[in-house]
Structure 1
Amino acid sequence: MNPWFDPSHFLTFDSPTLLAQDALPNLWKATEVDPTLMFQILVGIILLVTTIIVVTYKYQRWKRYTEFVTEMKSLDLDPESEGTLAGMVKRYSMDEPVNVLFSARLFDEMATSEIIRVLGSPGSMQAKRNFIDLVYRIRTKTYHPDWLGITEENRPQALAIAEKPLSLPWEEADEGMEKSDF
């Protein structure tokens, strides 16, 4: 007979509390609990909880990004604009990527931080100007004209403004100055 499993043990009429006290170690006495085992159990629980949190966070980011990509595809942007917008959203905030498409304030915050990042990076002024123009075109295509206050009366003026390349503030200041001002 197997010494580890004795069916006669279950047929005794001992009190269940006595059986439970015999089977479980007393956690209040350090001599009955192996500290390395308790440490391993604690580390295992911490790793399990951390893994669950990280996997949940990654899944939510992936799900929100796929929602964002679906919404972005419905905007009918050109491939370069789609790539730029997706890169901006990945760098700025993955917590609210879909909200960026529906909130002009969030989009403007994201665009401002990206423009500051690009202006501070090394590169030619023409590349920086092209990026700023691209961000501006994305913004005008992303938000519906009625959200921007564009009506049929001022549509030609708004479209002319949207198509005009964006000039940087220091370029406008340079145009008004003469060489004798230096």
Structure 2
Amino acid sequence: MLNGAVTHRYTQGLFLAAVDVEQVANVDGSLRALAEAIAHSASIQRFFENPLITPEQKLDVLQKVLSGRVPDVLLAFLAVLFKRKRAEYVPAIASAFHARANDYYGRVDVRITSAKPLTEEQRASVTQSLKAALSKEIEAVVEIDPDLIAGYKLQLGNRLIDSSVKNALRQLSVALLEKRIV
């Protein structure tokens, strides 16, 4: 529970600072890229987690690598995190910040999983329908999963809409088993 409170407090501070300097989108993109680099690189993870490397040394390396590539407000924020030995919160803060940025810009991330590649027309149709239903801009990521057989799944935050043939067959199987028809 404390983890969530810490993440919220730091996210709130960074978000307000980014709004003040009109850098919400840049901070969002840079912070997500940093979190992704941490998540996908064992050497970066070890660097951040190594207790023998002081926060000042970590910050020095980060500033040399990121200076001029990320907004100054983000570098200042990372300096605070490192000095307070909170570097492990970067991925959680990145995720929370992205959610705040989406709210700020009136958009929502949607993951569309389809059995077959969508045409541009189909993708536009789905995003337009979601835009009308949610009254928000849609940032869609499309993935292909042939195991769905046909149809699609939509993931909006923690909501899942599964309109795949695979799911329909699973539901039919469960219903038949419950009624002992099989």
TM-score by length of 1: 0.25
TM-score by length of 2: 0.25
Larger Rg: 1
Structure with greater proportional helix content: 1
